[in-house]
Amino acid sequence: MNGNNREHIKQGARVRIVQKQDQRSGKLTEGVVFKILTNTTSHPHGIKVMLENGIVGRVKEIFN
């Protein structure tokens, strides 16, 4: 599942995000959602979240 819709992302969900500095390379970072930072219902580049370890990025993949 991709991370473009806010309703698919819940606090505590395991996700892969792309950090700002990794957007060109496409390197993904895996972690657990601590806080959802994007207020709109959707975003074309992914919903911005903060992981439990403090890393911020846009969600590219959601694990079930």
Supply the pLDDT for residue 64.
Answer: 75
Whole-angstrom distance, CA of residue 45 vs CA of residue 52: 21
Walk me through the domains of the chain, giving residue ranges and CATH numbers.
Answer: 6-62 (2.30.30)
> Is the pLDDT at 1 greater than 90, yes or no?
no
What is the tens place of the pLDDT at every residue in 24-56? Answer: 999 999 999 999 999 999 999 999 999 999 999
Torsion of CA 11, 59, 52, 26, to 10 degrees: 170
Instruction: State pTM to two decimals.
Output: 0.93
